[in-house]
Amino acid sequence: MTGTTPATRVTDLPIRWLREHMHEALTIYGLAMGYDSSVVAGRYGYAVQHTERPGFRAVGAFAATEEGERLVGFGYGYLTAPGQWWHDQVRAALDRRTAKRWLAGAFEVCELHVHPDSQSRGVGRQLLHALLADLPYDTALLSTPDADTKAFRLYRAEGFVDLARGYHFPGDARPFAILGVRLPLRPADRRGGG
Ligand SMILES: CC(C)(COP(=O)(O)OP(=O)(O)OC[C@H]1O[C@@H](n2cnc3c(N)ncnc32)[C@H](O)[C@@H]1OP(=O)(O)O)[C@@H](O)C(=O)NCCC(=O)NCCS
């Protein structure tokens, strides 16, 4: 599929391409999240392992430059399953009924990041829609810092609801929100239409 932001193309990323360009993608992750290089370096092995998970899907946004196309944003996720660290943390954060309704068989949006120079131009929304389009799952889940951020506003605007708020993952002092949405996402042109 192709996005509509002028000179920016949003497309599915083949797994092999992402593995070969993981450093490039994680540089965007570090800049977008404000993480230093040691955090980014520490993420590399996990990110490569994620590409091997069942249901893995990745999308990227490419901007046209004089030298050719440049990756300016990416997102990926996979089928969440017991035994995965995030899944087990989220399972513990939710009551049994909520976990059964939302977490079982869900797609986890693991990463979604846009280079700071390309943010607030619709790229993140296009990436989210591309990532979640035509998935064979009933729900998509994610966690995001529990604060008034661009990410939180984007997810809320796209129909994500609270599954847990103020949750603390081990090793991170920040409170997180665990959000979920029923798939398919509402088309972008019908947002706000109920
Ligand atoms: C979150 C992120 C992926 C969104 O991508 P983006 O390209 O900046 O967002 P978009 O331009 O598509 O905007 C989508 C929505 O985000 C929110 N948003 C975007 N820019 C914003 C800004 N400057 N201030 C407040 N909200 C903003 C709005 O709700 C916007 O919808 P609207 O345009 O209808 O108002 C991107 O900002 C990012 O990488 N942020 C840092 C990393 C991060 O937090 N990743 C998510 C981790 S869970």
Distance 82 CA to ligand 1 centre (A): 30
Q: Is the pTM above the cut of 0.75?
A: yes
pLDDT for res 189: 67
pLDDT for res 187: 85
Atom index in ligand 1 nearest the CA of residue 153 equals 29
Ligand 1, pocket-test mutation among 26, 33, 120, most atoms within 8 A of CB: 120
Provide the β-strand partners of residue 60.
11, 74
155 given a catalytic annotation = yes
Give the three-state DSSP class for 101. Answer: helix
Strands (E), 46-187: 57-65, 68-79, 107-114, 139-145, 161-167, 176-182
Distance 122 CA to ligand 1 centre (A): 8
Ligand 1 atom 25, closest CA: 150
d(CA 141, CA 103): 7
What CATH number belongs to 8-190?
3.40.630.30
pLDDT for res 193: 44
Given a contact cutoff of 8 angstroms between Cβ atoms, the answer to whether 107 and 135 are in contact is yes
Ligand 1, pocket-test mutation among 39, 146, 149, 154, most atoms within 8 A of CB: 154
One digit per residue, the tens of pLDDT, for the chain of length 194 reads 445 445 899 999 999 999 999 999 999 999 999 999 999 999 999 999 999 999 999 999 999 999 999 999 999 999 999 999 999 999 999 999 999 999 999 999 999 999 999 999 999 999 999 999 999 999 999 999 999 999 999 999 999 999 999 999 999 999 999 999 999 999 876 555 44
**Catalytic residue from among 29, 137, 155, 167:** 155
Atom index in ligand 1 nearest the CA of residue 145 equals 48
Q: Kindly list the domain boundaries of the chain, sorted by start residue.
A: 8-190
